[in-house]
Amino acid sequence: MKNKTSKKTFQNQEGQIALFIVFVIMALLLFIALFLTNMVIKQTRVTRNNLDSIQAYYLADMGAERALYGITRPVLDPEKIKLVEYFQPAGVILVYNIPSLGSFTVIKTSDSSPVSIKASGVFRETSRAVELSWN
């Protein structure tokens, strides 16, 4: 009779061991899935921040080019007259807010030679700046 009892106990333990192995395998698969998901989310954020940074840089570049265009135009050009009104010592020259594209601001940073302006672009929470100077 003892042999029958020990066989039943051993058979019951086989089911418990199989359940434990399945549990360990499922835990490992869950860990791997969470790790990969976390890695993909972080890479998506890095890529988005990179794209936002590039957009902000080009907004700053666009602001600088726009200011230079207005500054170098003939005096009779209405755009130049508009810019000269705002071209004050260490003052804001241009401020543009373009919906769905971002915004840029151009500031004159020095009056003496070389003259310099600083253009900053903002897209979402990212900002980049470009500084130009010339004689």
Which residue intervals of 73-129 are DSSP H helices? Answer: 78-86
Give 89's pLDDT tier (boundaries 50, 70, 90): very low
Give 108's pLDDT tier (boundaries 50, 70, 90): confident
Span 34-47, average pLDDT = 96
Number of domains in the chain: 1
User: Among candidates 118, 120, 55, 58, which has minimal Cα distance to 91?
Assistant: 118
Distance (Å, whole) CA 91 – CA 106: 9
pLDDT exceeds cutoff 70 at 80: no
pLDDT exceeds cutoff 50 at 81: no
Q: Is 47 helix (H, G, I), strand (E, B) or coil?
A: helix
> What pLDDT, on a 0 to 100 scale, did the predictor assign at position 49?
92
> What pLDDT, on a 0 to 100 scale, did the predictor assign at position 14?
63
pLDDT exceeds cutoff 90 at 37: yes
Instruction: Residue 52: give the domain boundaries.
Output: 2-134
pLDDT exceeds cutoff 90 at 34: yes
> What pLDDT, on a 0 to 100 scale, did the predictor assign at position 83?
46
The proportion of the chain whose per-residue pLDDT surpasses 70, expressed as a percent, equals 70
